[in-house]
Structure 1
């Protein structure tokens, strides 16, 4: 593809989705194509450049996981050693199941930690205090049993990095990974290198015929930095992908092939239903006609970031945007690239195809919790359907299938249905977890 064609299409997609600014980097067949579109803030004339830093959201997790893998390579951490062996904060966990949690569990989202644990003081930056407080929560399931996406788990990984590296997470990340990759660090939530390069502002885009991007601030609890506290460019993401592909000049020194392979390998219990086609150690797996792609997606207040790379061909695709509709732009971009011979891996969950279950629905009914989030599932009075509600006002009709997946359609808005799944206890077969959007909620009571 020619640079002018890609630049024109990126600008058109940005206009279609009211995205003020974006970056796109594509590496294929040994060539790199880097294009930008728009401005860093709506209503200004400050153009997005290749050096502009965008909030990465959860793509930060790939950087955090990579540093953890570096420490494994150096012998300072082990994949399968209990976290409590390294962290005194975890040694006295309230839930005894946490004693078995390992780095492998945390990086593959199979540890059973709640999704979004927050401290009462969002300004508290101590990862030691964060980890000690997270250890007072109850586990969702036995470690290694199933997948449940957890920001909490990655913040604990940040604390592990601090303990093993004997420095703050930001300092270890900067010295061990970012600077060697040629990345000028930006930590939007604060840190040693905050604000040293131009950054893009986030924007909210409200649905409607005249969609307008409105600048919004970034809310990020200080203790969440290892999960989502980094800003960078699409070129920076491509440099990280080159490290994992082994094509970066310093790849074998920065991250030996053994650890790269360990991170890329699919973890059997981490099926990532609703988010990806599988999960490794910090890297999601995405199916494609030419095989599995690796990478991660991230959203922040007013922006999104997307990274994909293909181990077989060495192809890399990285996109950053500064609007909430950036995820829609990404989906259209994937379709466009596939049409032009770049079959980017992406996960688009489909509704269950098995027969619908209309009897014995009490098996599914009950209260489900993930931290402070509580879902209520009840059978309709006629006993032929299920209804899901939560404290935010969500109300959805559930159609369970024989394979334990379900389709859910909101009753208050005319939006597309979403999918979920119930998970059973291995021996007795009782429903113990409900999965929605990659997150698991533990069944606390049966109705």
Structure 2
């Protein structure tokens, strides 16, 4: 694989697409290739290096899943037993549904309850336990096991399960059972640990601005750690984890981190993902099994102004991890990552675009309001299309993000695509129907009609 121009390609793409700073690590042909460019914070001008740590966001979910599988190996957890077996305090607004939610449901985002509850329960070691107790009012959107809808809340519950059975906080378990045996050195969990490294700060582009600026907050609440708020890594550490997976659970130095059977189960398709851009393929246990031709698996991540792309190509043995701290990351991926994806024998996903002449849709069945804990869609029908007002709600509204009005046109059966890009992407949404009327809107999350 030709990676001689990796540094230049990353520099050129970051400059062209307004990305303040980025780093990449690629394992190919038995060697690690790394590059970094830009700055970690436009206000301080601290240079991004290959040693810099970035927030990896939801990529952390695979690490949490690995901790659960270690418990399965030891006979401490059965994937198909109810979560309440291990966490008796776990309940939801629908107590009957909560009693049926299994560990496997949480690993595969099929628990069916509200997934974006971002409650800040403080910095104490009991923050995740308090979070789990707070789910007692969380609404059930679909019956357990019926549909896949991305669920941060479920992975926080898994983190609580890991902490309870290990007798330690989630962060300690991650360090003792993954970071240390893997040999990770460029890794931080708490803000005070991140100060020991060159740590990236996220950037956002305010409405009407042409350049990204530092986000108003560096980190999401600690209570969200098992789902993606606490883990800061250099790209090479994601590669290190991936190589362990490729080796059937064995780290570089020969330490067994996961049983080979655990790895096999994590990579076995468990549930079909709704066929929307960015969500194609299946979900395994923690991993996204990507529909990219010849097979690939991995997980993306996003926090406040920081993004992670991470995938593994098992046939070629190529691993890639990219971190960036703002700007048009999707375009950077097209310029830098997609050529590597193709060389690894995969078919990179192309960004969807609206049809030149979209068909007129009978929009009446979709008109209504759909809402979850963090976002609300107000859908109206206009001239054979949908006019949608998107409002950010909940804790994320503190970022000051404005309401967005988007026109959506027909893109498939009960599926629509935005005519104007948001953040570099034309958003695609779909609707679940009941008795000829939309009951839920799916944008990666399942949002019920209200």
- TM-score greater than 0.5 by the shorter chain: yes
User: 1:30-429 alignment to 2 at 5 Å?
Assistant: 30-42=30-42, 44=44, 46-91=46-91, 94-119=94-119, 121=121, 126-184=127-185, 185-188=187-190, 193=193, 195-205=195-205, 211=211, 213-214=213-214, 217-228=217-228, 229-246=230-247, 248-249=251-252, 253-271=256-274, 273-278=276-281, 279-289=283-293, 291-338=294-341, 341-344=343-346, 346-348=348-350, 350=352, 356=359, 358-359=361-362, 361-371=363-373, 373-380=375-382, 384-392=384-392, 393-400=403-410, 403-409=413-419, 417-424=426-433
Contact residue 357 and residue 400 of structure 1 kept, 8 A? yes
Distance 2:347 2:288 in 1: 10
Contact 1:368 1:376 in 2 (8 A): yes
Structure 2 counterpart of 1:9: 9
Following the alignment from structure 1 to structure 2, what is the Cα–Cα distance between the partners of residues 421 and 224? 27
Whether the 8 Å CA contact 2:273–2:280 is kept in 1: the answer is no
Cα distance, 1:243 vs. partner?
Answer: 1.3
Distance 2:386 2:98 in 1: 33
Bigger drift between 194-203 and 74-83 goes to 194-203
CA pair 420-23 structure 1, distance change in 2 beyond 3 A: same
For structure 2, the 5+ residue unaligned runs are: 393-402
Corresponding residue SS for 1:35: strand
Could you report, residue by residue, the CA deviation over 1:86-126 in whole angstroms, capped at 9, with x for unpaired residues?
A: 11221465442222212221122121122321336565661
Contact residue 201 and residue 216 of structure 1 kept, 8 A? no
CA contact (8 A) 1:270 1:280 kept: no
Shift of 1:44: 4.8
Conserved? CA contact 1:56–1:299, under 8 Å: yes
Secondary structure of residue in 1 paired with 2:77: coil
Secondary structure at the aligned position of 1:254 is classed as coil
**For 1:4-47, what per-residue CA distance to the aligned partner results, in whole angstroms no more than 9, with x for missing partners?**
52112112222222333322111122222122223333365643
More deviation, 227-236/206-215: 206-215
| The 10-residue stretch of structure 1 (139-148 or 247-256) with the greater mean CA deviation from structure 2 | 247-256
Question: What value does the CA root-mean-square deviation take over the aligned residues?
Answer: 3.1
Q: Which portions of structure 1, spanning 4 or more consecutive aligned residues, are displaced by more than 4 angstroms?
A: 1-4, 120-125, 205-210, 212-216, 343-346, 351-357, 413-416
What TM-score results when the alignment is normalised by the length of structure 1?
Answer: 0.86
Question: How far apart, in 1, do the equivalents of 2:92 and 2:216 lie?
Answer: 40
How far residue 201 of structure 1 moved from its aligned partner, in angstroms, is 2.5
Structure 2 CA distance for aligned equivalents of residues 309 and 414 of structure 1: 26
Unaligned runs of 5+ in 1: none
Shift of 1:250: 6.0
User: Where does residue 442 of structure 2 map in the other structure?
Assistant: 435
Q: Deviations over 1:104-160 (max 9, x none)?
A: 211221211223213365656611110111232111111222221121111111111
Quote the residue 2:400 is aligned against: none
Q: Distance in 1 between matches of 2:326 and 2:94?
A: 40
Given that 1:18 and 1:205 are in contact with CA atoms closer than 8 Å, whether structure 2 keeps it comes out as no
Larger displacement relative to structure 2 (163-172 or 28-37): 28-37
Relative distance call for 1:115 and 1:414 in structure 2 (3 A) is: closer
8 Å CA contact 1:109–1:270 kept in 2: the answer is no
CA contact (8 A) 1:367 1:443 kept: yes
TM-score (norm 2): 0.85
Deviation at 1:230, TM superposition (A): 0.6
Question: SS of the residue aligned with 2:178?
Answer: helix
SS in 2 for 1:421: strand
Give the distance between the partners of 1:9 and 1:415, measured in 2 at CA.
20
Check conservation: 1:237, 1:318, Cα contact below 8 A.
yes
Write the deviation string for residues 395-434 of structure 1: whole angstroms up to 9, x where unpaired: 33333466221223369x9986421111245xx6763321
Alpha-carbon shift at residue 179 of structure 1 (Å): 0.7
CA contact (8 A) 1:356 1:402 kept: no
For the Cα contact (< 8 Å) 2:338–2:348, is it kept in 1? Answer: no
Deviations 1:167-196 (A, max 9, x none): 100011110111111124312456xx5544
Q: Shift in Å at residue 315 of structure 1?
A: 0.8
Distance 1:409 1:330, change over 3 A: same
